Chains A and B, each alone.
Chain A
């Protein structure tokens, strides 16, 4: 990987990396994340102009209410996926937290804040169980969380059976739907905890040593281990965070619909993962950024909202989102291929053009820099 640098020991060597020869605007604009943001802008303004009632005052309000749980869980999920792991149990933790809040409030007579606190702690414990099995026992996260997906959902349905608990105090169910700047504003209250968590996770992932460790693990966890990253602890903490945030999303879900059911949020984990991948996070780990993920979640929300207003069925909405997701996954490969192709052409015009094997090495080096630079 370091061949390119070794080849040119002079200080000027780094200049030859294609990534560094790109200007700032290119590095800002020509990213996966920005592509998603641009697409979001296009879809948004197109819908605003062409979809009847999309420009109404309720659209954004309902949009944020709908996607809030996905926005929330996408934050820790991004970090988990960047380490190359996955957490499929998030929606089940939401269901468990919902059922638990219902039982604690209705049967044990706890106040909502207390029940919520217990639920979030239980969510963190659920996450810790996942994290322990993945990080310390070393089991594959896909297998572990498929298991706990069924386990936590099973406990949730066992707690409540088929009944639903609906007698929550109006004060709290109203709070979940409250608007931030009074009546007529498009921003529901749930965005406040989301923005707080967003700032926290952006700092954690993009501006802290912990975050650099997260990317390192995703690229190569052996290398990360040898460069001093505590791989086990990092993974463990990420799963705990995912559990706790999911439980919080479960609380929001329960209060928004005023109904605690064991089957609440069934299947939401796939929507979260789809949004995260659409936002430019690599499923193989090591690459991704939170602004892309947030744009990905909102993009899916805007598309479904606009299509619903057009009177399209859920199936058609799912088809569009599915195609978009596949395209976004393919685009990584295509972009990588195109960049490799371009840099090879540029290389071949430099005087020290070498044999094809050397060429391949350079491409590797370029690719490696690319991915490091993506951070």
Chain B
């Protein structure tokens, strides 16, 4: 008797759940029109949603700041959403949400080039324009990619900076990340060619690898300075490496005598720029990146560009941009940070 009653209650409840689910479905289908209405509001008011790799990351806080400024300039509605950890499946839920909301444009930094593709395509089918920035997906999953910098640009700016800082002559060395790091190796190759071609008096004497580990990079810097007493400059094309090398130099006798430059972030490098260890280093400006991405999204939504090579649009204070091959827009030359501008940045 007990068991039978229990079963009855279970059955009754299951029936209730089922009926709930079914009525719910009916409601959602018949109300489909309202979704279109919210999406159709794009005529005067462009809704742009930024989806960075994760929230609470200073780099993406800065890019979203730029995006927000741009959206406010052209009078749209800005929104920033994102997962708390940088995982692709968490990002998919936010892409789906954007598709449901029918936002006009979604600006994404992809956690995985493939895993978020289908979700992006679904959002695209729902009428949302897809712009990727910082980290791209497969080209067929988005309308436009905003590239922060090219390998050539990154290599060239570092060579230029070291040449300026050591007077275009003398011995330099490179402190890289891991020996098999794809990006760094590509940049180093380009840097070598650039040095040979344009700076014959600069001699690259050594390339060492700090494995993107703070302590290893620190030790390698010390060893580098001991084994090459005539060293005039160090290039570190990795944010971990340049910070560790700066930390070593700032407390050593070489401070101010051996130049250090490379790719770094303002927050890590601020104290070394201020105490004179480092004159200038480079990276792209994430704020400009977000700003450009928002304007590109706007241009797509308005139909000014379609993502075809040769299309051009104006991005507010940054000026005119032209779409390159593979529907890519290049932000420009890497941005140089020095003591005059470093306090304008917080990432």
The residue of chain B having its C-beta at the shortest distance from the C-beta of A305 within the complex is B97
Smallest CB-CB separation from A38: which chain B residue?
B16
Complexed CA–CA distance, A206 and B35 (Å): 41
Q: Does A159 contact B (CB under 8 A)?
A: no
Contact check, B8 vs A258: say whether CB atoms are below 8 A apart.
no
For the complex, what is the distance from the CA of A263 to the CA of B6, rounded to whole Å? 41
Is B102 positioned at the interface, with any CB of A under 8 Å from its CB?
A: yes
Q: Chain B binding site: helix, strand, loop or mixed by DSSP? A: helix
With contact pairs A28-B8, A44-B20, A308-B97 given, residues A177 and B118 touching in the complex (Cβ less than 8 Å): yes
B179 interface hit (Cβ, 8 Å): no
Chain A interface mostly helix, strand, loop or mixed? helix
B9 at the interface (CB under 8 A from A): yes
Decide if A58 touches B35 in the complex (CB within 8 Å).
Answer: yes
B13 touches A34 (CB 8 A): yes
Cβ B7 vs Cβ A309 within 8 A: no
A62 contacts chain B at the CB level, 8 A cutoff: yes
| Cβ of A182 under 8 Å from chain B | no
A27 within 8 A of partner (CB)? yes
| CB of A24 within 8 Å of the partner chain | yes
Q: Which residues of B contact A222 (CB under 8 A)?
A: none
Interface size classification for chain A? 35 or more
B89 engages A58 (CB within 8 Å) = no
Neighbouring B residues of A358 by C-beta, 8 Å = none
Query: With the chains together, A294 CA to B27 CA distance in Å?
Result: 21
Whether A207 and B7, one on each chain, are in contact in the complex, defined by CB atoms closer than 8 angstroms, is yes
Q: Are A58 and B118 in contact (CB-based, < 8 A)?
A: no
Residue of B nearest to A314 (CB): B84
Task: Tell me which residues across on chain A come within 8 A of B7, comparing CB atoms.
Answer: 206-207
**Alpha-carbon distance A263/B85, docked complex (angstroms):** 12
Residues of A within 8 A of B114 (CB): 164, 166, 258-259
Asked if A308 and B89 make an inter-chain contact with CB atoms under 8 angstroms apart, the answer reads no
Whole-angstrom distance between the Cβ of B279 and the nearest chain A Cβ: 36
Inter-chain CA distance A27–B6, complex, in Å, is 8
Q: Is the C-beta of B161 less than 8 angstroms from some C-beta in chain A?
A: no
Q: Write the B220-235 contact mask toward A (1 if CB under 8 angstroms, else 0).
A: 0000000000000000
B3 contact set on A, CB distance < 8 A:
212, 375
Residue interface mask A268-309, B partner, CB < 8 A = 1: 000000000000000000000111101100000000110011
Taken together as a complex, chains A and B put the C-alpha atoms of A261 and B88 apart, in Å, by 10
- Confirm or deny: B150 has a beta carbon within 8 angstroms of a beta carbon on chain A: no
Chain A residues in 8 Å Cβ range of B29: 57, 184, 186
Contact of B79 among A62, A186, A258, A311 (CB under 8 A): A311
Q: Does B101 contact A (CB under 8 A)?
A: yes
Set A253, A257, A309: member contacting B97, Cβ < 8 A: A309
**When the two chains form the complex, which single residue of A187, A264, A291 contacts B25, counting CB atoms closer than 8 Å?**
A187
Pick the contact of A291 from B14, B34, B113 — CB < 8 Å? Answer: B14
- Complex-state Cα separation, A373 to B84, whole angstroms: 43
B115 touches A259 (CB 8 A): yes
Q: Does A2 contact B (CB under 8 A)?
A: no
Contacts of A26-74 to chain B: CB distance below 8 A: 27-28, 31, 33-34, 37, 40-41, 44, 48, 52-60, 62, 65-66
Question: Once the chains are docked, how many angstroms separate the CA of A152 from the CA of B88?
Answer: 21
- Which B residues contact A (CB, under 8 angstroms)? 2-3, 5-10, 12-14, 16-17, 20, 24-25, 27-29, 31-32, 34-35, 38, 55, 79, 81-84, 87-90, 92-94, 96-97, 99-102, 112-118, 126
A-B contact pairs, 22 of them (CB 8 A): A28-B12, A28-B13, A53-B35, A53-B38, A55-B27, A55-B34, A56-B32, A57-B32, A62-B99, A62-B100, A65-B96, A257-B116, A261-B115, A263-B87, A291-B10, A291-B14, A304-B93, A308-B97, A309-B100, A313-B81, A314-B82, A372-B2
Closest 8 CB pairs of A and B: A166-B114, A56-B35, A259-B115, A55-B31, A257-B115, A62-B96, A28-B9, A291-B13
